Amino acid sequence: MFMGDPKIPSQFRQRTGVDLKKVEKTVLLVCTTPAFVKAENSALDRDIIEGVYRHFRRQDIPCVNPNEVDSWLGRVGGIWDDPSEIAQQFTTDYIIHFDIDTVAYREANSPNFYRGSAHGNVRVYEVRGEKSDRKAYLVFQHEFQSIYPHHYPVAADNMTERTFAEQYNKRVAEELARLFYDAPAAEEVY
């Protein structure tokens, strides 16, 4: 009580010992989704990147501008096989890759209810080396599962699916961002 609201250490700091808020390291954010996910929600990967970027900026974590990354991805056709390709194109210390496997906005077997669910992996690569010899090395990997709301689904007659999808995408971005910075226990996402 006298010390204030205790902070919960981030997963990234617990496993790597690196506190992105305290070190002067720049991060680059990239998100990939399979074609069938893009077919249903083409803006998902962009929503996730923009949401995480906003949270990082609020926490004063330096980030490469997502528009620059998006432009580069557009030039290479959106396909990259090795994070070292990205490391050679941008001045960054870490590459955070959100790989989202599945996303759904409807309750299973109940088309009249919304319940968001997402599954995927987060990989962080540390960039080492100079200029054209820069390489990316995996330093953190985390599987994530998100479900919201936990208790009761939202009735479809209360809002449109697009509105629910936008709200849920923001929530997933917040959950993913919290993997990288310490947050007060009172602000825990449920």
Which is nearest to 78 in space by CA: 31, 125, 112?
31
CA-CA distance, 176 to 131, in Å (whole number)?
A: 30
Per-residue pLDDT reduced to its tens digit, 80-108: 889 999 999 999 999 999 999 999 999 98
Which is nearest to 49 in space by CA: 108, 95, 83, 7?
95
Dihedral Cα 56, 58, 63, 64, nearest 10 deg: 120
Tell me what pLDDT residue 81 has.
85
Q: Identify residue 159 by its one-letter amino acid code.
A: M
Question: In the predicted model, what is the mean pLDDT of the chain?
Answer: 91
**Helices and strands: H and E segment counts in the chain:** 6, 7
Beta-bridge mates of residue 96: 29, 124
pTM of the predicted protein model: 0.91
Tell me what pLDDT residue 10 has.
92
Check whether domain 10-179 has CATH 3.40.50, yes or no: yes
Tell me what pLDDT residue 80 has.
86
Per-residue pLDDT reduced to its tens digit, 67-86: 999 999 989 888 888 999 99
Domains of the chain: which residue ranges? 10-179
Per run of 10 residues, the mean pLDDT along the chain (length 190 residues) is 73 94 94 89 91 96 95 88 92 96 91 94 96 91 94 90 93 96 70
Tell me what pLDDT residue 190 has.
46
